[in-house]
Amino acid sequence: MKNSFFAVDLGATSGRTILGTFTSEGLEMEVVNRFPNHLIPANGHFYWDIYELYRNVIEGLKAVAQREDVKITSIGIDTWGCDFVMVGKDGGFLRLPYAYRDPHTEGAPEKFFERMPRSEVYGLTGIQIMNFNTLFQFDTLRRNHDAAYEAAEKILFIPDALSYMLTGEMVTEYTVATTAQIVNAYTRKLEPKLLEAVGLTEDKFGRFVYPGETVGTLTPEVQQLTGLDAIPVIAVAGHDTASAVAAVPAQTGDFAFLSSGTWSLMGIETQDPVINEESQALNYTNEGGVNNTIRLLKNICGMWLLERCRLNWTDADYAVLNAEAEAAEPFRSLIQPDAPEFANPVDMEQAIKDFCKAHNEPVPETRGQVVRCIYESLALRYREVFDNLYDLSDHPMLALHVIGGGSRNDMLNQWTANAVGVPVFAGPSEATAIGNIMLQALASGAADSVPAMRQLIRRSIKMQGYLSENEKAWEEAYQKFLDLNNIKK
């Protein structure tokens, strides 16, 4: 019987549970179950179905419990950031959680800054200003006299809510809490001044924990449901990007990372927060990482652009789309991937065409032209963010590691290398789950350190490398991109 770690990895569109086992050959992973994660539109809001997510986790645990060749050492949960569940005095959830794409926070930061200056909020947290940050969700609920918010006894972020459903223990995990913009970047604790501004106190949150700490063990109810024993649930890096970055197979610390998926997140690891006028002007964020590190990074729209276009396209698998993009004219049309027009349009393809028309760019006429426009614009946006990180960093960035689902996109990876001008290494695509498993292994004593685990991951996976090509053409395209978006360099 092999001892394995059970990772729950939930994204904004889908989830899966995974078994991870360390062998003499390295890390072996096996998907137990996959399931969709749907936004639920109702009564003018968008919700997450936390109970359906829990049910699928239970189904994964039940499937493993029935196997005689596997023994689960521990369980870890990672999810997207910012969203949360409100818990009543009786321990029950007061309603389904709002999704971060809910429109109720439009304009929320500006309303909050009427009471507390933007510079003060950023100076405390180092977190970039985005409408859906939990701080602004809280303030919106406060201003709207939301019944669940006013009645909440506790507030649990999504990974912590699922851990609570499994263990009965309430915690607030550090990495996911930092995405909320309520953690002081220097103390690494909840910031009382910000909580007070939204009518909360520290006792509204669970026990504050850091990656590697134990949340609790499976409740008798869950043991009966699954057929498992009192297995410990570990607080891994609850924010999926923090888990993914922990799995970057870098040989040294002189690297940048690009977590490529629905969102792209590009950044570096630092020991201390980078909070200054430049980082604030650029709206760069300082999120919590493992081993007491800070992830200095920038959110970029990512493959959301293409995934939304694919909703209206038939036979739109990536091989077909990439071939059509390859045949299209280079640099014909460019967009700003993070323009507000692309946040959640009804028709993404039309939004791209409208943006091009409004900015005097040739309007894409074919599907291949649309895809090429998305890829090239993303690669050039990566260059812009990479250059800014270089200016903010206190160490060189000798390589860019692309992790997550987007690391499988050979075309985009090559164009990213062309744009940023440093070697790009792609993989692992399952970085989030690997990081989740890795932190469980560290907690169990099966591994010694994060650097040692990264070397093991490097030996366990096949990475693809890319070197810069067509440098002159890409440099000219970059200048066009900067001019299009009125960016001064």
Among 249, 190, 290, 193, residue whose Cα is nearest residue 400? 249
Handedness of CA 382, 384, 390, 392 (dihedral sign): negative
Residues 408 and 419 sit within 8 Å (Cβ to Cβ): no
Catalytic (active site) residue 90: no
With a CB cutoff of 8 Å and minimum separation 6, the contacts of 55 are: none
Long-range interactions of 183-187: CB distance < 8 A, separation 24+: 183/125, 183/288, 184/124, 184/125, 185/124, 185/125, 185/126, 185/127, 185/273, 185/275, 185/286, 185/294, 186/273
Q: Which residue in the list 102, 139, 240, 338 is annotated as catalytic?
A: 240
Q: What are phi and psi of 160, to 5 degrees?
A: -70, -30
Residues 37 and 97 sit within 8 Å (Cβ to Cβ): no
319 sits in which H/E element: helix 318-327
Counting Cβ atoms within 10 Å, is residue 317 exposed (0-12), middle (13-18) or buried (19+)?
exposed
State how beta strands 154-157 and 84-87 pair.
antiparallel
Bridge partners, 403 (sequence order): 259
Among 65, 92, 87, residue whose Cα is nearest residue 4? 65
DSSP three-state, residue 19: strand
Residues 416 and 382 sit within 8 Å (Cβ to Cβ): yes
Q: Is the peptide bond preceding residue 428 cis, with omega within 30 degrees of 0? A: yes
Among 163, 165, 142, residue whose Cα is nearest residue 93? 165
Residues 381 and 478 sit within 8 Å (Cβ to Cβ): no
Residues 227 and 371 sit within 8 Å (Cβ to Cβ): no
Residues 365 and 328 sit within 8 Å (Cβ to Cβ): no
Give the residue numbers annotated as catalytic, written as ranges: 240
